[in-house]
Amino acid sequence: MSRRERRTFTKEFKQQMVDLYHAGKPRIELIREYDLTASSFDKWNGIFRRER
């Protein structure tokens, strides 16, 4: 089984994903549309929520 290459995301991209979520876009939609892992998205959400 081959592993996916690890992708990196900018802080701006992560913030944009969290902002879209807080603006009402469903979490599952963001994860599917941008091919994210749920754990990564949840981590970003936690980080940016604490920064507010």
Dump pLDDT digits (tens) for 1-11: 677 788 999 99
Confidence (pLDDT) at 1:
63
**Ranges under pLDDT 70 in the chain:** 1
Confidence (pLDDT) at 20:
97
Confidence (pLDDT) at 36:
97
pTM, two decimals, is 0.84
Residue of 46, 40, 41, 48 whose CA lies nearest to 15: 48
Give CA angle at 14 (9, 19), nearest 5°.
160
Confidence (pLDDT) at 35:
95
